[in-house]
Amino acid sequence: MSPMQTLFPNIDWAEIGQACIDTLLMLGGSLLFTVVLGLPLGIWLFLTARGQLHARPRLYSALSLVVNVLRSVPFIILMILLIPVTKAITGVSIGIRGAIVPLVIGAAPFLARLVETALREVDRGVIEASQAMGATTSQIVTRVLLPEARPGLIAGATVTAVALVGYTAMGGIVGAGGLGALAYQYGYNGYKPDYMLVTVALLVVLVQILQSLGDRLVTRYSRR
């Protein structure tokens, strides 16, 4: 027996490999759509807040309420509640594609709040200076707010990605597969501690990689 087989007698490494790929696909897909939805939503929240460029207090309150509701529903419940929606969008309610919809609905409002907070950190004076130069609101957003807030936005995306790793582990419930599902099925239900150890260790490594990548990008874009 090779040392690997002695240490981890139960493990099917091919299955672990597939689970890694599934987790990465779920993470990549959901992160992409989370940013596509969460970033504009965060910008919208920022612009409509009281005292901001397009202050619309009522719209802001409505958006804020939706975001808070979505953020307060536990992800596992959200996933079950969203099954009909998922079916309508992707045609399936299970598997990787089935998991991405609830992952995005769960994470986008979270990211939106982080985006809003990051944009609020941008010096008001810089926005005023841009207005004084005759910039349009869309120019202010794309050429001032987003570049100035870039470190904060990257930090927010990193936190969101790490949260998504946690969510994907729960995606096993809708049969999405991935490392979390393996840990639950074999490690927890199947009493195979080596499965638990390996899958959790891989998740830790994934989170470490995401976090240090995010930190590195934040440092690179910080000019203060």
Q: Which residues bind other proteins (CB under 8 A)?
A: 123, 125-126, 128-136, 139, 143-144, 147-148, 150, 221, 223-224
Considering the complex, what minimum distance in angstroms separates the CB of residue 223 from other proteins? 5
Instruction: Give the Cβ contact number of residue 216 at 10 Å.
Output: 11
Residue 154 CB, shortest distance to other proteins, in Å, is 12
Q: Give Cα separations from 204 to 19, 23, 162 (angstroms).
A: 15, 13, 10
How near is the Cβ of 142 to other proteins at its closest, in Å?
10
Cβ closest to other proteins, residue 136 vs residue 208: 136
> Residue 17 or 147: which CB sits closer to other proteins?
147
State the nearest-atom distance from the C-beta of 145 to other proteins, in Å: 10
Q: Please identify which residue in the block is written with the tokens 């079950």.
A: 80
Residue closer to other proteins, measured from CB, 157 or 182: 157
Q: Minimum Å distance from CB 14 to other proteins?
A: 46
Closer of 3 and 125 to other proteins (Cβ): 125
**Calpha distance 158→174 (Å, rounded):** 25
d(CA 179, CA 198): 9
Residue 54 or 74 having the CB closest to other proteins: 54
Give the H or E element holding residue 107: helix 95-120
DSSP character at residue 121? T
Q: Closest by alpha carbon to 64, among 78, 86, 80, 49?
A: 49
CB neighbour list of residue 201: distance below 8 Å, 6 or more residues apart:
none
